[in-house]
Amino acid sequence: MQDTNMLAAMYISQSRIDRSQVDELVSASLSNNYNLGITGGMIFTGRLFAQVIEGPADAVNNLIDKIALDDRHSGFKILLKEPVAERSYRDWNMGYVILPFADQAIMPLFEDDYSPAQVAKLRQILLTSIQRSHNLDCMPR
């Protein structure tokens, strides 16, 4: 997988589907993202989504445009799209966690007066929650 000309994008939205439908969406996205060279992670709070995708610029732009039009969610709001030197989600084509408390971090970002610090915080929550959940899966004690 070539890592030049890479973009990362993060958005938030409100779900219009239930948890089992989200599970289906995630498993379809997993293989799709693998084929596209996309990595990333998504939080589902039970009612809100926050997702980061990263990969070759064309692939990220195309996928974001597609996701924005998907009627399984509403209120799509892009918070970040920027070049990155390397992947943060190298090990996950579609990391996925259910995290009800993340509502608190996502809700303020739907307002017009959100701050870059709030975006940075959500980005960090996303990454650490994906890393932690997969660590638990992989390292039973």
Ligand X SMILES: Cc1cc2nc3c(=O)[nH]c(=O)nc-3n(C[C@H](O)[C@H](O)[C@H](O)COP(=O)(O)O)c2cc1C
With beta carbons less than 8 A apart as the criterion, state whether 63 and 53 touch: yes
CA distance 91 to 3: 14
Quick one: which of 49, 89, 92, 96 contacts ligand X (CB under 6 A)?
Answer: 49
- Tokens encoding 97: 């966690």
Asked if residue 12 binds ligand X (CB under 6 A), the reply is no
CB of 1 to ligand X, least distance (A): 16
With beta carbons less than 8 A apart as the criterion, state whether 49 and 73 touch: yes
Q: What residues between 63 and 92 interact with ligand X by CB under 6 A?
A: 63, 66-67, 70, 72-73
Instruction: Name the residue nearer to ligand X (CB basis): 33 or 129.
Output: 33
- Residue 68: which residues within 8 A CB-CB, separation 6 or more? 11, 76, 78
CB of 139 to ligand X, least distance (A): 26
CB of 64 to ligand X, least distance (A): 9
CB of 17 to ligand X, least distance (A): 7
Q: Which positions lie near ligand X, rule CB under 6 A?
A: 13, 25, 29, 32-33, 49, 51, 53, 63, 66-67, 70, 72-73, 94
